Amino acid sequence: MSKRAYFGTDGIRGQANKHPMTAEVALRVGLAAGKLFRSQDDRRHLVVIGKDTRLSGYMIEPALVAGLTSVGLDVRLFGPLPTPAVAMMTRSMRADLGIMISASHNSFADNGIKLFGPDGYKLSDAQELGIEALMDQGLQEGLAAPRELGRVKRIDDAQARYVEIVKATFPRHLNLSGLRIVIDCANGAAYKVAPTALYELGAEVISLGVSPDGANINEECGSTHPEAMAKMVREYRADIGIALDGDADRLVICDEKGVVVDGDQIMAIIAGAFAKAGALKGGGVVATVMSNLGLERQLNTLGLSLERTAVGDRYVMQRMREGGFNVGGEQSGHLILSDFSTTGDGLIAALQVLAVMVESDKPMSALGRQFEPVPQLLENVRFAGGKPLEAKAVKDAIADGESQLNGAGRIVVRASGTEPLIRIMAEGDDPALVKKVVKSIASAVKAA
């Protein structure tokens, strides 16, 4: 794969008003993506755009619109809407392209641009490279004639449409009446839709993080700060807490005691329920190399497999599509339920957990520990350059660690995709041995 100048593992991302997150780059993305997705036939082409609540969205959105309309594409603007909703609407409105303006769980100073194809899936590496190639060409080529310029409209019912789609994923014979639910929307994209959907399904809703001011997205709230939700759950004696991130594609839950339940446990809950109902496809679950060994063992006891991929929800989705799986995700709370959505959707995943809760008539604390996590230790080693992972001493240390764990644990050593760090993770039943193995690999990496 050739080196990408703009796109990272999840679209283009960076600090607002600094390269690559400037109005100029957004304009170039609009021009390039518009040219790439404009086919030769003379029909009108359509792009839909959603965003989260960051102040910089006001700068990036008009720049994208200017680029897209200048090459003759029509644009529909949704305003604040979760990432998975934009993916769904791209497909349901028969758009040629969907764009989400968000930096997900990052702080407000950052922003990003994510693109979805007409099928609602994130663009392939080849398509992203195609856009990059066009971005660096002259801005004058391929512009539309004055009469052919694109038209722009706001879509006022996008949020209501998404709420109906989300509610339809909840089993029809159930409702949430009698449940008191704390929902933390991270002052982000789901601040209207999430509380509405839960309320309309019958719950008593206590909302948190629903007063965005352009600068408070993910600030001391949402899935990256679950303590705010947990405190509220204890204060209001709620049955469950649900925390989304800024663009609502990931989820963290806590039980009625305020104990946090991570993505691995949530995958175990959903996969177990789907398997029991005969609705689990692919014979198992897709997760990344970071998911706990305890999840793998728990699935094995149910006769299910755990397939592992590289870190990143796009790789999880890719493997799900190849192998026909319908449950996948990451320990961090990105959960992909492909029966309902083409990308991670925190609200839909939360509803599946609520369905299990209602159906089983058990408190969340009885469901939240599907398995005992295997002791897991993660150490990051900063490096100045070179390729430490190719050094013989590092390879030997990893091999030695694996023979010490002797099949009763796992080691994952990888370079970070975003910073100059080597991430060393080991897990096993003996915490002292795990610590020893990580220390020995870390010192080999430092020496290399």
Chain centroid, CA 213 distance in Å: 23
CA-nearest of 108, 332, 312 to 224 is: 332
For residue 174, count CB atoms less than 10 angstroms from its CB and return exposed for 0-12, middle for 13-18, buried for 19 or more: middle
Q: Which residue has the tokens 């791209």?
A: 90
Beta bridge partners of 160: none
Q: Taking the CA atoms of the chain, what radius of gyration do you get in angstroms?
A: 23
Please name the amino acid found at residue 86: V
List active site positions.
Answer: 104
Which long-range CB contacts under 8 A does 256-261 form with residues at least 24 apart? 256/363, 256/364, 256/365, 257/365, 258/230, 258/231, 258/233, 258/234, 259/230, 259/365, 259/368, 260/226, 260/230, 261/364, 261/368
CA-nearest of 249, 270, 220, 303 to 114 is: 249
Q: Which residue has the tokens 């001391």?
A: 220
Taking a C-beta distance cutoff of 8 angstroms, is the pair 261, 243 a contact? no
Task: With H, G, I as helix, E, B as strand and everything else as coil, classify residue 441.
Answer: helix
